[in-house]
Amino acid sequence: MLYSDKVLDHFSSPRNVGEIPDANGVGEVGNAVCGDIMKMYLKIENGVIEDVKFKTFGCGAAIATSSMATELIKGKTVEEALKLTNQAVVTALDGLPPAKIHCSVLAEQAVRSALSDYYRRQGIDPEPIVGKIEEPEHDCESCGSCDH
């Protein structure tokens, strides 16, 4: 499986790793099939994501996509972060192997999950704004890291 230099860089030197103790948006998503779990922490002030951190348990692509997703939303408004797509993460990483696209979907869902939590803490129903958080589709046949 060939990875771009950007994927390898974000895997070997991930950005924004860790936790934010006073985060006002925390989201966790996982893929039960391959075991990847991503937890995203947001510190939002006046509608802007001042800080973002993540903790990911998973393969190199899962770590790289988490890292890139944090880079893409840090300093952005909540509205801009809501527009983050898995395709934007893939593009920013100069591509991913087809079997690892689900990692980018998981990164997008982790951001959305943390934003949902942020809205909930404001007393706002997040679903009309953020949408439903669903487990990404996973292709075990081409994954290479599943036991199935």
Tell me the catalytic residues: 34, 103
- Asked whether 63 and 42 are in contact (CB, 8 A), the reply is no
Q: How far apart are CA 26 and CA 33, in angstroms?
A: 23
Secondary structure class of 134 (helix, strand, coil): coil
Counts of helices then strands in the chain (DSSP H, E): 7, 3
Short-list 68, 125, 82, 93, CA closest to 3: 93
Buried b (16+ CB within 10 A) or exposed e, 49-67: bebbbbebebbbbbbbbbb
* Strand-pair category, 37-45 with 25-30: antiparallel
Q: In what order do the strands lie in the sheet with 48-57?
A: 25-30, 37-45, 48-57
